[in-house]
Amino acid sequence: MLVSGMAFLTLAAIILILLKIGGGQSGDYIVSYRASLGIDRYGTGTFTDILGFMVAAVLIFGFSLALAYKSYPVRRELSLSILALTFPLLLFLIVVSNALLVLR
């Protein structure tokens, strides 16, 4: 059940990012915010920089699944906690990517 939920969040992150990008507008995307830079505090990037969020979602899903699989024979609770702690990480990824794409 935890793996199904993680797979859903991973697919939701990818679909939400693609929907925000797929507006038909090309150009620069805001990929970072640096408060210490003053007026020019937004860092811009291209489409490939935004693809990093989708790659990160897949990597988070893959690594947590591999770690949970490897730790299951040792301790079941450790495996379940690895899977459970992946949920907030994927939720933060969705929130941050959405916030950066809305600013565009």
DSSP 79: H
Residue 68, domain extent: 2-102
User: How many distinct structural domains can be found in the chain?
Assistant: 1
Tens-place pLDDT, residues 46-97: 788 888 999 999 999 999 999 999 999 999 999 999 999 999 999 999 998 8
95 burial (CB, 10 Å; 0-12 / 13-18 / 19+) is: exposed
The whole-number pLDDT of residue 104 equals: 65
Mean pLDDT across the chain: 87
Query: What is the percent of the chain where pLDDT is above 90?
Result: 54
Q: What is the pTM of this model?
A: 0.83
